[in-house]
Structure 1
């Protein structure tokens, strides 16, 4: 899952990046308004964390521009504590949630997880497919109740597929959401990770839909 962090204060941007990366997300950053607007319109993200006070263009106008362009990506707005008017304006502009600064890391992570789940119609933080369970709260995977160790990339791939039950996910979409924009992408890498997941979690867990992509078994 890939997150865009829009924050112009370097220390906070680093804090947010580290927090999200340690929780298994791919993170890209922007610290300038015009750049953030372009990135949000031209790249695929699973969620955006947006500060409102940005150089170049303010966060509210960026958010309105995204929504006017038809971008439905969930957006968590960061506001100054007590700035209730910013919260109201943010929600009216199309924000999905807000969080006051300073904030606690676990709360921000919980809100991001909830936004991503709600955006695709999933209520539970524990995702299931047959005997496979993925707990988004602690990034743990189990098979038949027994924990299974996955690498970070294997976990990200499985998590994305489990967030899209019943859907055939193309290789291009997976690549877009699993890797940072500047990551050197190998067309065979996804097949390697899919093969590893099949060995660890069952050969029939992930179906290859020829010419289209991948789909979790058990879904139609």
Structure 2
């Protein structure tokens, strides 16, 4: 079983053209991971941006260039998932270079399949330890790990999209976020329509949180929304 705490399966992006990696892809899928594969560095970036992986497994030597450059491109696109480098080069300087650049782990080929799977689990736990801390804004508390929300001590039931939207707003509490930012971070590649979907989901959140006076999620006209840090204490409305 995976240790990933989200309600969806963890997403793993594997960037490697080596046919010897195929058993790893198969094994990860058997364990319930959503696995996305790219055989070239130039393919890794669009796939990564589209799926937003929870872990990246990246070969150092790729058919179209250096895996380190692919790593930089992924980080430049705000894909900050834990990274496991694979390499057939058992040289200390290669490993040191990857680790100094920010890689989380390193495995030398040929590798034991179960070892890599175990390392993926460790990276998922490590990422959760960093990203699954409770979020709070006034009397609203959100747990990214269990995907639970409370207001004034009472649990509030949200859909997956509502939860993701609230997470983004609470992560930026006290700051104005634009509709374009919300669409990019919450809907990502799943969105094909008008930006009015943002207003609709903000309305859903306000209704479920009992934010009738909009003191919790404030509209900044012509710009976007602001999640208040110090919203007043009140119980959510009946659902």
Q: What TM-score, normalized by structure 2, do the two folds share?
A: 0.65
Q: Give 5+ residue unaligned stretches, structure 2.
A: 1-5, 16-21, 107-114, 231-239
Query: Looking at CA atoms only, which structure, 1 or 2, has the larger radius of gyration?
Result: 2
Instruction: Return closer, same or farther for 1:172/1:133 CA change in 2, 3 Å cut-off.
Output: same
| Cross-structure match for 1:31 | 38
| Cross-structure match for 1:110 | 125
Query: Counterparts of 2:37 and 2:226 in 1: how far apart (Å)?
Result: 32
Q: Alpha-carbon deviation of 1:218?
A: 2.8
Q: Deviations over 1:128-167 (max 9, x none)?
A: 0111100111111111122111000000000111112222
Does residue 194 of structure 2 align to residue 194 of structure 1?
Answer: no
Query: Counterparts of 2:91 and 2:220 in 1: how far apart (Å)?
Result: 49
| Cross-structure match for 2:220 | 209
| Cross-structure match for 2:55 | 49
Query: Counterparts of 1:211 and 1:103 in 2: how far apart (Å)?
Result: 48
SS at 1:181 equivalent: helix
Instruction: Return closer, same or farther for 1:158/1:105 CA change in 2, 3 Å cut-off.
Output: farther
- Equivalenced residues, count: 197
Query: Counterparts of 2:175 and 2:52 in 1: how far apart (Å)?
Result: 16
Instruction: State the superposition RMSD in angstroms.
Output: 3.7
Q: Deviations over 1:65-123 (max 9, x none)?
A: 556xx55642411246xx8957643221233x3487213776444333445x4xxxxxx
Does residue 169 of structure 2 align to residue 158 of structure 1?
Answer: no
- Indicate if the aligned counterparts of 2:142 and 2:149 stay in contact, CA closer than 8 A: yes
| Cross-structure match for 1:76 | 82
| Cross-structure match for 2:3 | none
Q: Give 5+ residue unaligned stretches, structure 1.
A: 21-27, 118-123
